Amino acid sequence: MKQKRNIKDFTLEELEGYIVQNKLPKFRAGQIFEWTYKDVESFEQMTNLPKDLVQKLNQDLYIGRAEIEVKLVSKEDNTHKYLLKLQDGNAVECVLMEYSYGRTICISTQVGCRMNCAFCASAIGGLTRHMTSGEMLEEVMAVSRDVGERISNIVLMGTGEPFDNYDEVIKFLRTVNNQKGLNVGQRHITISTSGLVPKIREFADEGFQCTLAISLHAADNPTRNTLMPINKKHRIEELIDACKYYIKKTNRRITFEYALIKDINDFEESAYKLSNLLKGMLCHVNLIPINKVEEKVFDKAPKTNINRFKSILESNGIEATVRRELGSDINAACGQLRQQYSKAK
């Protein structure tokens, strides 16, 4: 029996290919695509399609939808954390956050992660599998459906390394940005990477106007080797060269994520090293007070160290902000809820 495919895994161009292959008028692809992102539950709800096409779609395809397994809402700042159950029973996390400019969803790109960053809960248990573009789209749609409003800001910063699942992430970007899809502007999308250098260069050549965020977390190789094993493959110097290439190609500012960890990377010397590393680059540093993870030994840097670190960067001409801590009462850092779910199962 032929396995059905999730219609949300098709880009508009791929859907056109499917329609033409089945000797149907090409314009039908646009109609089906639009209905899909109006969030219909069945092909029968696509009311301007002929019955024989609906029958064909039912034979070959399905409309993938995720089930909300767990939903937590912060009493402190109204952050929503979701554990979504996928069609195969695997579960992924996403987080909806409130900012002055609107709501932002942080989505996962893999079930698990193999980057094994020392302070992160997402990599506990390793990588189960890549997510498809349609599953990523459904994260946005499932949460939008739940809160009853459109979400116009997306960060790919949840569980997984987006550039380790490069092709599906690119497909996701094309559909989420398509006017007939979810129609989210590229400048409202941020993609985070731990530093897969060849993919940073490849992404620069794609011509997207998204924001690129680099999970840096250290300004010297010995410290970064300890925190982020990817650094043993792509050292800081190579990573910074790729970032400069990205800025030159896109003229877009890069965000460097720096999680401040007590007695590891929160020293004054660390701030001066980071200042020297990023000097003259079109960039911004996002300082992150690290979330405590039960299975990890790292602690959050003291507030005085965080403020001093920021002050040193700014005095050296590096723009820096301290990320607001959202959802701290519901363990809003990715990986923690999924771990609890896996243990319970």
Q: Which of 37, 119, 30, 60 is nearest to 299 (CA)?
A: 119
334 is catalytic: yes
Integer Rg of the chain from CA = 21
Q: Which of 113, 210, 283, 334 is catalytic?
A: 334
**Residue 271: closest CA among 316, 206, 303:** 316
Smallest CA-to-CA distance from 329 within 81, 69, 68, 70 is with: 81
Contact 283, 289 (CB under 8 A): no
Is 120 among the catalytic positions?
Answer: no
Of the candidates 48, 68, 143, the one whose C-alpha atom is nearest the C-alpha of residue 103 is 143
Please identify which of the residues 16, 93, 168, 257 carries the catalytic annotation: 93
Instruction: Tell me which residues are annotated as active site.
Output: 93, 334
